[in-house]
Amino acid sequence: MPQPRSRTPSKRREGSGTQYRYMSLPLSVAQGAKRFDSDYYVEGYASTFDQPYELGRDLDNRPYYEVVSSGAFAGADMGDVIMQYDHAGHVFARKSNETLVVEPDSHGLFVAADLSRSQASRDLYEEIANGLTTKMSWAFTPDYDAMAYDDETRTQTITKVFRVFDVSAVSLPADDDTEISARCAIDGVIDRVRLEQAERERVELRRRRVALLAAI
């Protein structure tokens, strides 16, 4: 059985653009043990490991997928991540004042927040507690050159994250969790696939020309 083809560029660099992923992962009021002693405590996962999710669709409505590998956050800069709402700029919790935990565990990128420090934070807690805001997103910079793309499964793998900028409670409905979030990323995937296909066609054309000249 043929093995799936994958592409992993050899040169590594820090990506220049921040990307966002809106995930259909629950953000909720915790029922068990808490990471903060607070009456305004919420937790959830901004991302999960090794679980492919739909990244977007091409012009023929064929899906592309993405997966975050379990070692992607090794060495990532998460020194002062902030928690926002819809990535709109207002800070509700942050690591530097010890109201936010953002850390990878065996399941994914775990987030816990104490939303007691301001009226706006407490208002956000009430929205989460009442089920008005239930989803999460995260903003990050990946190592673009370390991404692997599998042609057969149409899956992009994030193998290294350079920096996590923020996590955000989001108001998007659940069925919008992938399509809106990753448009710039999927455009990059499509561009790379097209370039690789064009290069394969050029190589094949040169091969045919050489064979034709040799036969004369």
Q: What is the pLDDT of residues 151-179, one digit of tens each?
A: 899 999 999 999 999 998 887 643 333 23
150, two tokens: 């599998």
The stretch 78-96 carries a mean pLDDT of 91
Q: How much is the pLDDT for 10?
A: 30
Q: Residue 177: is it exposed, middle or buried by C-beta count within 10 angstroms (0-12/13-18/19+)?
A: buried
Please tell me which residue, 189 or 27, carries the higher pLDDT value: 27
Maximum C-alpha span of the chain: 84
- Average pLDDT of the chain is 78
Q: Which residue ranges make up each domain of the chain?
A: 6-215
Task: Say whether pTM exceeds 0.75.
Answer: no
Nearest to 185 by CA among 166, 163, 165, 158: 158
Nearest to 110 by CA among 167, 166, 47, 45: 45
